[in-house]
Amino acid sequence: MTTFSVGEEVLFRGERYVIAGKTEEQPQRFRLLASSPEGTKVIWTSLSELHKVETYTRPRDDTTSY
């Protein structure tokens, strides 16, 4: 099971957010924050809608040009 912690960057519907809080009761909900040209976006969502930012978690060979 995937877990997320406060302060972690996540993807929600293709956009990058930071987890600003989470509930302890079940089903667990996550408060997400993001900045945009219109101002701060604040949403609450469930675990099933969050995705890890894979550029940080998937290994890749990016040193072949060195």
Q: Residue 10's beta-bridge partner residues? A: 17, 52
- Each domain of the chain, given as residue ranges in start order, spans 9-51
Query: Is residue 23 a contact partner of residue 8, using CB atoms and an 8 Å limit?
Result: no
What is the predicted pLDDT for the residue at 36? 84
Average pLDDT over residues 36-57: 87
Q: What is the mean pLDDT of residues 9-21?
A: 92
Question: Mean pLDDT throughout 29-49?
Answer: 93
pTM, entire model: 0.76
Distance separating alpha carbons of residues 15 and 42, to the nearest angstrom? 13
Give residue 14's pLDDT.
Answer: 85
Tokens of 12: 């929600």
Q: From residue 16, give the alpha-carbon distance in Å to each of 26, 47, 60.
A: 24, 15, 20
